[in-house]
Structure 1
Amino acid sequence: MSTSTATELYSQGTDPASRFTSSRERNHKRNSSTVEELLIEKLDYFVSSIEARLNNFDIFFKWKEAHTDEELNDRPIKTTTNIYTGGATGNNLLSSRDRSDSTSSLQSLKEVSLMKLNLIRDRLRLIKKSVLSKGFTNVEFLYNLLTDQYDYLFNSVVDPDMLDDEKLTGEEAEEEEEEAAALGGGVGGGTSPREVLSDKLIDIIYYFDQKLTNIDDYLREKNAIVEGGIKDLQENQEQPHFINLRYFNFNRALKNAARNKYVHYYELPLMWRENKYIIQGYRFSLKHSEMWKSIFAWHNETMNIWSHLAGVGIVLYIGLVQFPSTTLFSLMSNGDKSIMYLFLFAALGCLVSSSTWHTYSCFAHYPSRANFACIDYSGITLLITCSVIAIEYCALYNYPNLSLAFIIFTMACGIGGFAFNWSPYFDKPECRPLRIGFFIGLSFSGSTALLCQSWYYGVWHAMWFTLPLFYKSFAWYLLGVVFYGGLIPERWRFDVIIEENSAVACNHHYDAIDVIEDKVGHAGEEEIDQIESELLDLELRRLQKVENALKEDSDADLSAEGGNTGSNFDGNVVTDGEHDSGTDFADDDDDDDFKRLVKKHFKKEPTKTPYANKFMSLWWVDYFLASHNIWHICVLLGILGHYSCLVHMFNEIKGV
């Protein structure tokens, strides 16, 4: 299984020769299925192959950057021509000037090649971005894009020696189209302009993929100007974990969501999967209007959206009606009111940002979806920061300078939290401890302010002053973390079979640290790791098959030489064709294994149990009282409890 496994499956074969499928074979497939279905399949595999190739380019350029000095200074230069050596055979020693000239020529040649490869990488990124932004719906745009990029890259940019000698000429293309039309399955057989255009798009995807396959081979084999320089790159590129299925099933999910309104968990691309125990009711669309209209529809995010929209209404009522009508309000200074309204504003921002995120949690444009997730994190950061500031203000009310110092420190931590939320650098796994440091800093600031209060006013007074925080606010947040981190109750559902490996399924427990590190709700990333492990097993089995086949060939050759008959142990002549046939069977097995892997992780329908319609099977957690729903309710109750505690603190301060 190589880096182009997804591409090979798309081409219906793992043998390189099978990649150049004839037009007759391709048109036969188009007759057995609708053009749109075939287009969706090809687009999904094409995007996956581009993602894998982009990984290969990243590896290649990192390797080049790390080995440039070593190649130019330490490693021997190939002497196949006299351009670099000054001699016909390459046996003459280089003078210092000749060596300098050859190094300069080599560097110039490599810079040109790197520029072209870098351009190819940039164009592939553009194609990937465009496909994931438009989907299969805008066929004309995708066809024009791929045609323009194909002509630009492979007619004006890429050197001929990067590509194989086997090319499709214009005459051959016309012959294939005529043959396809005669069979009734070509471009001329389309029943509508969209179908004709879809058929053409399938063709350009196919030929685009063939040229990219040649670029893959060029990276592995023909770019090794320096002896031994590409070997470790080859080994890295052929590792199975660079087969990328992150965006696989993207277009099929779009189509199914448009047709059925909702899709189930296994239809989603891996990057959109969050909780494997929530199966039904997912939206998936590229249209903003569909997302906003879904606020008033019933799906698996409805309760998450409306629990916090209801909270928005409650907070607005408190800020505009209830709080101004209290006796405490008339006794408070402008600074006191500012602190109270700062907290209410932060609560409002948190609830609005949360509702917005859950409205867009299944938005098909992934960069936009990621931005809305950052908005949600920012709302949480704002609420925590302002909650701590309000406590510090009340705890050290009679010590304004000390209170101001604590507030400034807390604000600095909050600003750092915003940086963590929006910076791609801090989103890396190795930076997650910094997220913990942010929360520790806020906790340290708030708890230290309370310790200072106990120093100035006494322990009992401080305990009486802050005790309501624990049972009115903190208790709700802690309870929410228990449900959210434990994936309770959906982890106990048994209306569908969630996972074949029950041992893996039981590992989904998260504690408070996991919640802080944002490890909850990343089932898709966990599944990607699982797929990589399964691909590694497939690769090991493939290598074992190759080793066994080579051993059998060697034994057969030895037997033939010993008997001088060229026959095997059964007396039958062993031909190259038989060996090739055995290899083809092995390739077919590899292809079938990969298809089974895809089928396992992208099921057409969830596997239901005999208890699927029983209330106690918890089928209803897809839409009601899932762990995230309960977490939202607990957050709202925690906000209301915190407001009640602030009222209690100001009452103590004012003597009400």
Structure 2
Amino acid sequence: MSGVEPSHRHTNVTTGTMENHRVCSPKEGKGKRLWKKVKYQLVEYHSLPGYLRDNEYIVGHYRADWPLKQTLLSIFTIHNETLNVWTHLIGFFLFLSLTIYTATKVPKVVDIPHVLRKADLHRLHECLPSLPSIPDLHKIREELKTTLPSMDLLPSLSGWHVMEHLYNCLPERFSHGNYSDVCVLTSAKEDLANMIASLFARPITRWPFFAFLGGAMFCLLASSTCHLLSCHSERLSGIMLRLDYAGIAALICTSFYPPVYYSFMCYPFFCNLYLGFITVLGIAAVLVSMVPVFQKPEFRTMRASLFFGMGLSGVAPILHKLIWFSHQPEALHTTWYEILMGVFYGVGALVYATRIPERWMPGKFDIAGHSHQLFHVFVVAGAYTHYHAGLVYLRWRDLEGC
């Protein structure tokens, strides 16, 4: 009896024949449970299917052909894609927070607590004489009385009297950068000037800035999703790679929108020329990325060069901006941000293409520190730098207009 697997014999009620049914021993049942636990273990590079073979210098800790449930849950486990997923997922939530902050905290019209341009006073001078006939002016007058009870407001809120009163509030002049049309207001009188100036203030459109934020979020989320799900199957891997490349193209393309639009918003020809060119180039990059042949490892350098070339196309509008607005401190300020952004993107692309540092010590950077993770960090840093440049553009154009 020893060495023979236990079994039970019983009669099949349909056929009347005797059948043997194998009964698993306790030892074998334990083995099956163990197999269920190790079934979705990590494998080495040489065991991967062809579609997952991309970087031979990352030797182990791969997921391959995992079911969708286990693939999704692997976001919380350690493998060679864990940091690829989380570096851009954290970046996505960072830019989501920045978008909410920008929409709610960055004012629609930039605050002018201490400064009122004299050009606005001239506009006020021209517009106010015709306003006393408007019934709402009585409400404004009462609100000003309540807000500034110490001021002896004139009985009539005629334009000429208001202008005289405002000019009496402006005894001091100071230079702001290279400008001499800025006046200092002091004490409670600045409140009156700012309240009246706010009637004429108009916000500069925000859509180019939010287009950039949307492009950044799409790129980061698409990249994170790609690295998480590509191990599921060859078909899903192809779809995710296309989405990843589309996200990179969207980020590079929309990064041009704030600098080009806000630099040349007063010159529609150049504004439309540069925006149209980078948009067409971005669409072309997406279309090329959608062709499956360009997803093969041997085209890695070509893909990196294409996106690096898109970044270089921004040199023309930046130089143009510096030539035309050399007298504007904001032009130089934003250019330094853009140069830093370009350095981050360029170094990231170089690291990705050369596979540094894992090519120097294969297998040593499988979990942390390999080139793709560094590339992700540089992308987030570059996009965050560009966000700060966008804030400078908004303040510049809100204050100066055209």
User: TM-score by structure 2 length?
Assistant: 0.61
What displacement does 1:302 show?
0.8
Q: Which residue of 1 aligns with 2:375?
A: 631
Unaligned runs of 5+ in 1: 1-188, 193-254, 499-617
Cα 1:370/1:191, change in 2 over 3 Å:
farther
Q: Which residue of 1 aligns with 2:221?
A: 352
**Equivalent-residue separation in structure 1 for 2:50 and 2:339 (angstroms):** 39
**Equivalent-residue separation in structure 1 for 2:300 and 2:91 (angstroms):** 33
Q: Which residue of 2 aligns with 1:466?
A: 335
What does 1:28-107 align with in structure 2 at a 5 Å threshold? none
**Equivalent-residue separation in structure 2 for 1:339 and 1:280 (angstroms):** 43
Deviations 1:65-124 (A, max 9, x none): xxxxxxxxxxxxxxxxxxxxxxxxxxxxxxxxxxxxxxxxxxxxxxxxxxxxxxxxxxxx
Q: Which residue of 2 aligns with 1:512?
A: none
What displacement does 1:322 show?
5.0
2:179 is equivalent to residue 310 of structure 1: no
Deviations 1:489-533 (A, max 9, x none): 22233xxxx5xxxxxxxxxxxxxxxxxxxxxxxxxxxxxxxxxxx
**Equivalent-residue separation in structure 1 for 2:94 and 2:289 (angstroms):** 27
Task: Report if aligned partners of 1:385, 1:410 keep a CA contact under 8 Å in 2.
Answer: yes
Q: Which residue of 2 aligns with 1:372?
A: 240
Letter of the structure 2 residue corresponding to residue 285 of structure 1: D
Q: Which has the higher helix share?
A: 1
Task: Report if aligned partners of 1:469, 1:642 keep a CA contact under 8 Å in 2.
Answer: yes
Q: Which residue of 1 aligns with 2:351?
A: 483
Q: Which has the higher strand share?
A: 2
What displacement does 1:342 show?
0.6
Q: Which residue of 2 aligns with 1:283?
A: 63
The alignment partner of 1:624 has SS state of coil
The alignment partner of 2:71 has SS state of helix
Cα 1:407/1:490, change in 2 over 3 Å:
same
Deviations 1:425-464 (A, max 9, x none): 76687999798567646633x3222233234333886544
Report the count of equivalent residues.
280
Q: Which residue of 2 aligns with 1:40?
A: none
**Equivalent-residue separation in structure 2 for 1:410 and 1:371 (angstroms):** 25
**Equivalent-residue separation in structure 1 for 2:36 and 2:59 (angstroms):** 15
**Equivalent-residue separation in structure 1 for 2:292 and 2:81 (angstroms):** 26
What displacement does 1:398 show?
2.0
**Equivalent-residue separation in structure 2 for 1:259 and 1:435 (angstroms):** 36
**Equivalent-residue separation in structure 1 for 2:366 and 2:302 (angstroms):** 32
Task: Report if aligned partners of 2:357, 2:371 keep a CA contact under 8 Å in 1.
Answer: yes
Deviations 1:397-427 (A, max 9, x none): 3213320222122211111112111134766
The alignment partner of 1:261 has SS state of coil
Equivalent pairs: percent with the same residue? Answer: 26
Deviations 1:355-409 (A, max 9, x none): 011012322x212211110100000000000001222112213213320222122
What displacement does 1:488 show?
2.5
**Equivalent-residue separation in structure 1 for 2:269 and 2:58 (angstroms):** 50
2:43 is equivalent to residue 263 of structure 1: yes
Match of 1:396 among 261, 264, 271: 264
**Equivalent-residue separation in structure 1 for 2:88 and 2:302 (angstroms):** 29
**Equivalent-residue separation in structure 2 for 1:426 and 1:482 (angstroms):** 18
Task: Report if aligned partners of 2:257, 2:275 keep a CA contact under 8 Å in 1.
Answer: yes
Task: Report if aligned partners of 1:257, 1:283 keep a CA contact under 8 Å in 2.
Answer: no
Cα 1:627/1:415, change in 2 over 3 Å:
same
Task: Report if aligned partners of 2:109, 2:204 keep a CA contact under 8 Å in 1.
Answer: no
Q: Which residue of 2 aligns with 1:443?
A: 312
What displacement does 1:312 show?
1.2
Q: Which residue of 2 aligns with 1:654?
A: 398
What displacement does 1:304 show?
0.8
What displacement does 1:467 show?
1.9
The alignment partner of 2:56 has SS state of coil
Letter of the structure 2 residue corresponding to residue 262 of structure 1: L
The alignment partner of 1:336 has SS state of coil
Unaligned runs of 5+ in 2: 1-19, 24-34, 112-200
**Equivalent-residue separation in structure 2 for 1:484 and 1:279 (angstroms):** 17
**Equivalent-residue separation in structure 2 for 1:430 and 1:369 (angstroms):** 17
**Equivalent-residue separation in structure 1 for 2:309 and 2:352 (angstroms):** 21
Match of 1:622 among 366, 369, 376: 366
Letter of the structure 1 residue corresponding to residue 219 of structure 2: C
**Equivalent-residue separation in structure 2 for 1:628 and 1:329 (angstroms):** 41
**Equivalent-residue separation in structure 2 for 1:337 and 1:435 (angstroms):** 31
Cα 1:257/1:628, change in 2 over 3 Å:
farther
**Equivalent-residue separation in structure 2 for 1:454 and 1:383 (angstroms):** 23
**Equivalent-residue separation in structure 1 for 2:351 and 2:302 (angstroms):** 23
Q: Which residue of 1 aligns with 2:178?
A: none
Letter of the structure 1 residue corresponding to residue 290 of structure 2: W
Task: Report if aligned partners of 1:281, 1:300 keep a CA contact under 8 Å in 2.
Answer: yes
The alignment partner of 2:256 has SS state of helix
Task: Report if aligned partners of 2:345, 2:378 keep a CA contact under 8 Å in 1.
Answer: yes
**Equivalent-residue separation in structure 1 for 2:303 and 2:59 (angstroms):** 33
Match of 2:384 among 621, 625, 640: 640
**Equivalent-residue separation in structure 1 for 2:369 and 2:108 (angstroms):** 37
What displacement does 1:334 show?
6.5
The alignment partner of 1:375 has SS state of helix
**Equivalent-residue separation in structure 2 for 1:358 and 1:476 (angstroms):** 21
Q: Which residue of 2 aligns with 1:197?
A: none
2:188 is equivalent to residue 320 of structure 1: no
**Equivalent-residue separation in structure 2 for 1:372 and 1:268 (angstroms):** 18
Task: Report if aligned partners of 2:220, 2:247 keep a CA contact under 8 Å in 1.
Answer: yes
Letter of the structure 1 residue corresponding to residue 62 of structure 2: Y
Task: Report if aligned partners of 1:410, 1:442 keep a CA contact under 8 Å in 2.
Answer: no
> Comparing 475-484 with 332-341, which one deviates more in the overlay?
332-341
Cα 1:441/1:477, change in 2 over 3 Å:
closer
Letter of the structure 2 residue corresponding to residue 356 of structure 1: T
**Equivalent-residue separation in structure 1 for 2:57 and 2:21 (angstroms):** 42
Task: Report if aligned partners of 1:388, 1:442 keep a CA contact under 8 Å in 2.
Answer: no
What displacement does 1:638 show?
0.9
Match of 2:252 among 384, 394, 400: 384
The alignment partner of 2:359 has SS state of helix
Task: Report if aligned partners of 2:108, 2:203 keep a CA contact under 8 Å in 1.
Answer: no
Task: Report if aligned partners of 1:388, 1:410 keep a CA contact under 8 Å in 2.
Answer: yes
Cα 1:484/1:191, change in 2 over 3 Å:
farther
Task: Report if aligned partners of 2:88, 2:221 keep a CA contact under 8 Å in 1.
Answer: yes
Cα 1:278/1:432, change in 2 over 3 Å:
closer
